[in-house]
Amino acid sequence: MTRTGNQRLVLIGFPALLIGVVVCILWWPDFVPQASPGNESFPSLFGKGATCPQPRASERAAQRLERAARLHVERYPYDPEDGVRAAHLFMQSADCYRAVGAEAEVRRVEAVIKTLRLQIETDYASARLVLDRALRLGRWEIVDREIHRLLGMTRHLPEGTYARWLRETAGRAAAHARLPR
């Protein structure tokens, strides 16, 4: 191409680039999730740990807790509360194993706990982000689904600001779902 041809491309390309930048600037606020009032401080799903519920820990008690935890893990895809409950049962099982000196079992169960907690905490963060986005877009069916997921995950926690905000938002979502379209 000649120098004149390159200059024409630059003159044509510059306005297109400018339009693209303007579109991105206008679109960006809708793309970046904004924290909703309830998400400004959300509770942690897991405390520091759990203790063996048996006054006299035994390997048998640890095995029972571990079996119960595995049953809850199987139900986690259907009920988020079961995943959180499973993690707590695994933590209790690990503490029972620790109390009887079964260190190999403790390491095995702690590896399971680490994997499960990572999955649950990722799902928890994902649900909060999806909820924020759905609220901003007015997608009330998605708001309803994510709120119920989050309520299930936080049901074991003491009453707090986040739980109250979730319930209030669930009420708003239900009211919007009843409105004619």
Give Cα separations from 152 to 57, 82, 171 (angstroms). 30, 8, 16
- pLDDT above 50 for 33: no
pLDDT digits (tens, 9 = 90+) for 47-84: 877 888 888 889 999 999 999 999 999 999 999 999 99
> What's the pLDDT at 31?
39
With beta carbons less than 8 A apart as the criterion, state whether 42 and 163 touch.
no
The whole-model pTM stands at 0.73
- The mean pLDDT value for 22-44 works out to 51
Between CA 29 and CA 63 the distance in angstroms is: 51
With beta carbons less than 8 A apart as the criterion, state whether 66 and 50 touch.
no
With beta carbons less than 8 A apart as the criterion, state whether 156 and 82 touch.
no
Which residue's entry shows tokens 């649950």?
120
**pLDDT band at residue 179 under the 50/70/90 scheme:** low
- Closest among 110, 101, 88 to 58, alpha carbons compared: 101
* One-letter-per-residue 3-state SS of the chain: CCHHHHHHHHHHHHHHHHHHHHHHHHHHHHHCCCCCHHHCCCCCCCCCCCCCCCCCCCHHHHHHHHHHHHHHHHHCCCCHHHHHHHHHHHHHHHHHHHHCCCHHHHHHHHHHHHHHHHHHHHHHHHHHHHHHHHHHHCCHHHHHHHHHHHHHHHCCCCCCHHHHHHHHHHHHHHHHHHCCC
With beta carbons less than 8 A apart as the criterion, state whether 148 and 49 touch.
no
- Kindly list the domain boundaries of the chain, sorted by start residue: 48-178
